[in-house]
Amino acid sequence: MKKLALAIAVLALFTSPALASDSAKEPIRIGEISEFNLFKVYADNQHNAFELAVDDLNANGGVLGHPLKLITRQGGSGTPEEVLRDVEDLVHRENVKLLIGTGPDHTGLAVSSYAKKNGIFYLKGANGTNKHIWQEGHDLAFRFDVSNCVYGKAFAEAAAKLPAKHWAIVAPDYEFGHSVVEDFTSNLKKLRPDVTFTPIQWHPMLKIQSGPVVQVLKQQKPDAFFIASFASDAVQLIRDGKKIGLYKDKPVISVLQGQPESLAPLGKEAPMGWITQGYPADQIDAPAHKAFLAKYRAKYNAEPGWFSFVGYNAMISLAKAIETAGSTEPKDVAAAMKGMTFDSLVGPITYRAADNQSNLGLWVGKIGMKDNKPALVDWTYESGDKFYPGNDYVKTVRPQQK
C-alpha cells in the first residue's frame, strides 16, 4: 500500500499545475513564406511586420499562455515549385500547422491548394486574386489584403468619371495582371458602355522591355492608360514613357503605384497626378496605427509600406483566431476566423463568413508631393463593404464545403 501511495504521489507531481505551466511555454509555431529573392522590398516589409506583431503579442503574454514563434522560409527564387518545397519543410520538419504569407498570387494559390489537401491553415496577408476566395477558395484559406474585385470596381468608378473613351492597358502576364485587368475592364464597360480598349500589352513579371512597349502605346493613341505593372516594371514604364511624352495631358490609373514600396524608388521622378491606391501612413489618425508607426520606425529605422500594414494586421488577426478557438488545430482556427471581427490598426475589420475575405478597403487618391517626398494625396478611404458582392453571388463562384 505504501508503494501504491508513493506511485500516486509521483504521478500527481508529474501532472501538477507547475509542470503544466512549463508545457504551456511551448511556442505556437507559425510558418512564414516571404519571397525575399523575388520581391526583396515587399518581402522585407512583410517579414518585419510579422516579426513586430509577434514581438508585441509575446510582450503581452503570447496567446493561450504560449509564446508565438515565427519560422521563416524564403521560397527559393519565388516559383510555386520552390515555395512548395519550403512549405513541405515547414510542415514536415518544423511541425507547422499554421501558415502565413507569400506575395505573388500564383504562389499563393499553390500554397492554398497544398493547405486544402493537407489540412493546414493558410492566411494570405498580401495581394488579392479573386480565385483565392472564390473559384479556388476553401475553408482553411483566408486573406487580409483586398481582393482584385475591389481594385477593379474602385478604379472603374474613377475611370467612368473621366472623359476618356479609348483606354490602353499594360499588365504583367500572370495571375494578378489578368485578374485585375478583367475586373477593371468588365466593371468599366458596365458603367460606360461607350469605352473601348486597345490590345493589352502583356509582359513577363519583372522582365518588361519597356522601350518597345511605350512605342506601341504611343501608336495606339489612347485617351487614357490603365497600368497594372509594379516594382521595377513600373519604374521603367514611367521613365521610358516620360522620354517620349507618352502620358502628357492624359489621365493614368496605376493600380499599385501609390504604395510606399512603389513610390520610394522613384523619388521626385514619381508621376504626379496619377490616380492610384496607396497607404498614407503618416496621415492615419487611429491611435493603434500611430503606435504601430512609432514602433516600426524605432525597430527598423525605416518607414512601413503597404506590405508592412497588411502583414501586421494579418498576424494579429491570426492570434485573435487562435485565442478565440482555444486551440491551434487548423480546423478550429479556421472556424474561429470565419465571420470574426478583430481590432485592426485602423479599427474593426471582419473576415466575411461567405468567402473568408477581410472587408479591408482602399485609400484611393493621386500621387503628389508631401514634405518634399512623393505621397498619396487627395485620398479617400473606400470601405471594402462597398465593393464586395453578397452571399448569393459568392455561392455561384465558390465551391461549397461539406
Q: Does residue 206 register a pLDDT over 70?
A: yes
**Over pLDDT 70: what percentage of the chain?**
94
Residue entry with cell 491611435: 287
Q: Does residue 8 register a pLDDT over 50?
A: no
Query: Which letter does DSSP use for residue 162 in this model?
Result: S
Q: What angle do CA 273, 271, 302 make, to 5 degrees?
A: 110
The pLDDT, as a whole number, for residue 23 is 53
pLDDT tens string 14-68: 333 333 344 558 999 999 999 999 999 999 999 999 999 999 999 999 999 999 9
Within 301-349, residue ranges assigned H as helices are 306-325, 330-337
Domain spans of the chain? 23-147+287-361, 149-283+364-386
Query: What's the rounded Cα separation, in Å, for the pair 5 and 115?
Result: 49
Same fold, 23-147+287-361 and 149-283+364-386: yes
CATH of 149-283+364-386, one of 3.40.50.720, 3.40.50.2300, 1.10.1240.10, 2.60.120.330: 3.40.50.2300
pLDDT tens string 72-102: 999 999 999 999 999 999 999 999 999 999 9
What is the mean predicted confidence (pLDDT) over 346-373?
97
Within 68-146, residue ranges assigned H as helices are 80-92, 105-118
Query: What's the rounded Cα separation, in Å, for the pair 173 and 180?
Result: 11
CATH code of domain 23-147+287-361: 3.40.50.2300
The pLDDT, as a whole number, for residue 67 is 98
pLDDT tens string 234-272: 999 999 999 999 999 999 999 999 999 999 999 999 999
More confident residue, 402 or 12: 402
pLDDT tens string 109-166: 999 999 999 999 999 999 999 999 999 999 999 999 999 999 999 999 999 999 999 9
The pLDDT, as a whole number, for residue 286 is 97
What is the mean predicted confidence (pLDDT) over 216-226?
97
Within the chain, how many helices (H) and strands (E) appear? 14, 15
The pLDDT, as a whole number, for residue 400 is 83
**Over pLDDT 90: what percentage of the chain?**
93
Query: What's the rounded Cα separation, in Å, for the pair 260 and 388?
Result: 25
**Grid cell of 293 as nine digits:** 508607426
Residue 219: CB atoms within 10 A of its CB come to 9
- Residue 345 one-letter amino acid: L
Task: Point out the least confidently predicted range of 39-53, 340-354, 388-402.
Answer: 388-402
Contact 203, 172 (CB under 8 A): yes
Within 119-197, residue ranges assigned H as helices are 148-160, 175-191
What is the mean predicted confidence (pLDDT) over 360-389?
96
Q: What angle do CA 165, 381, 194 make, to 5 degrees?
A: 15
Average pLDDT, the chain: 93
**Integer Rg of the chain from CA:** 23
The pLDDT, as a whole number, for residue 2 is 41
Q: Does residue 5 register a pLDDT over 70?
A: no
Q: Does residue 12 register a pLDDT over 60?
A: no
Q: What is the reported pTM?
A: 0.92
